[in-house]
Structure 1
Amino acid sequence: MNYRYPLLKTVLVYTGAVFLIGMIGLYLYSIMGQQEEQPVAMPVVSVLADGQHYTIRTHGGTVSDLLRQQHIRLADDDLLQPPADTALSNRMTIRITRVTRQESVVLQAVPYETVYYQDPQLAQGQQQIIQAGREGTVRITRLADRNDGITVSDRRMDQQMVQPYIAQVVAVGTRSPAQNTLSAPVLTAAKIDQEEQKAVRRDQSESSVPTAHLSTMSAHSAGMVNPVTSYRYELAAELTAYTAGIESTGKQPGDAGYGVTASGAIVTEGQTVSVDPTVIPMGWWMYIEGVGYRKAEDTGSAIKGNKIDVYMNSLDDARSFGRKSGIKVYVIGPDKPDM
């Protein structure tokens, strides 16, 4: 009886075997598929750094973790995008920008100014070089910022005068041919009396000079109308006063260049004035009525033409000085006369 259906038994056995084999195959396929898909699930990121492009398969974590695993170091000034605490994701791009700062020092020539003044002792049409010009030298310190070797900023950090320029001074003749034949003027008693009266009036007007400046006017107190006996030329100037502080220069103690003039000299009360270097040569002495002897050592953006800024230590003194117009200035030369 067990062998009545041999064909059916064979079919059943075969079918079971096929089913079992199929199940085993599906199981093995699923295992292999998981093993093949597992790497795809790991984030793949790109790293751009130092001119190189890296593709890295990672186990996850943050940008900082990846850089540590790959031994990629960041300097303090380097730029990282995205930030270090960003979680890694598939196809993420990490960009590292190397930032460097380089300080450089250069010497730069400073062109000299040329100053012309009218000389009545020189015939019209003639010019005479009184002082030959010479270029100066300034030391400039610059700081350049570079991203991956490309300059993104270049700024001046400091500037120091190594050697101030020497202005070229040229006398321009104004004497007409007719003046060559004129005799010297004869002073009559009346004219002498008029000159003496003018001297008295001038002394009286100068008695109003502030006490702080009386020490510079010793020659006037001795009865001398003008202590300058020899000078190159004169002009009528507008006077103001300034200090080395932030109100006048925008700088304060501790700032680079504080208290240093355009000529490289340190500001000195009783000596330093700021001038237009095309009107009064830098480094030249002058006598300013009501003020005294001063030296052209500085310049200013607002000091143009016949304007002179007198240096003072105190802001209160500078403000009290105010603004004075029509003041006679006798431009002497590079050497201060004996007092």
Structure 2
Amino acid sequence: MKRLKFNRVLTNKDFIYAITLLLIIGLISFSFYELSKAEVKVTQGDEVTTIRTHANTVGDVLNELVIDVGEHDELSHNLNDRVTTNMKIQHTVANQVFLSIDGKETTYYTTSKTVEDFLYEQNIELTENDQLSLALDTNVNNQLEIAIDKAFQVTINDAGEKQQVWTTNSSVEELLNENNITLHELDKIKPKTTAELNGDTDIVITRVEKVTDVVEEEQDFPVVKRQDSSLEKGKEEIVAQGEPGVIEKHYEVVLENGEEVSRELVKEEVKQEGKEKIVAIGTKVNQTISTNNITSTNSSPKSASSSPKSSGSSEVVSRSGGGNEPKGKTLYMKATAYNWDCSSCDGRGLTATGYNLKANPNGVIAVDPSVIPLGTKVWVEGYGYAIARDTGGNIKGNKIDLHMATTQQASSFGVRTVQVKIIE
């Protein structure tokens, strides 16, 4: 059997056909390769990247995009999750945040969008009195600094008035400024204004002031006794009423919260010199006049005795007797003194009976008319003769009020028990 021999020469047309066929096969293969890729969207913040990839896992996709996932970053999928077509991967980079609470700073990493979200994430609660350095809706960015001052309650005792206030201040001085509390030069405060505050601090303010108190004090007047030969022995008469001297004393008084704590005399001035009281003391002795009967020893009318007989009678003639105290009903009464020009008087100087004390300041007393009727003449121990011409709201029962010529005399009299005689 003969072998058939076949020889063919390739033409240019054949070569072009072969090349074209290879290109078609390559294009089909490439298209198939591309179509076999998965489409993945990767979002970082506001940036979205879409890729087609043959990567098997999420981690492979991120490696293709040269994206490093930090320890605190937030990723929507696990790195080992299989890649699927139309997969959406969300990557949020964690920001470093510095949080200071009452001066103590802590570093955090967070993917929260706002300060409010961050505080909620960290379970940090704020009260209405706490102070936050930023607004709650502030966006969180890298290396954000947040400061929180936690409020606490402090008791302020200002001159006895207590109030409780919330504060975040660190010192006493800052707290006083916050509450518009002003300290004056002499005021005291515990603790000091430079002291640090905490929840156990109680602030006590003592208000201190210095005032000048002017007091008028009376000095006792001297009593001068002079012998008077025209006055019966044993009797006394006041020739001149004494007047006490007046000294004005200036005191520096320290008050703490309105109460006096100290008093110091800083100056004295003589406002009125005292006048001595002059008392006349009687020295005149009663006189005795003797009358002798004359008799005659002879019956002759011309005869008469030239000398009196020893058996004559005598007659004593005396001035009106008496001593310091007159006769009459005696009472013992509590006595005070007043003057028409007192601070509570009406200034007219008229008594309850209409008697003018301005013109006639001596010898007037105020009485309880049920005990001593008005118009009664009395003698008062240490005062002398007087007439009941006045009454008083506090003069009840066995009490009398002696009118003095000056307010200083009335002030120095005080209160004493005296003997009162009703003149009959």
TM-based fold match above 0.5 = no
TM-score (norm 1): 0.38
The structure whose Rg is larger is 2
- Compare relative contact order (CA 8 Å, sep 6+) and give the higher one, 1 or 2: 1
Higher strand share: 2
Higher helix share: 1
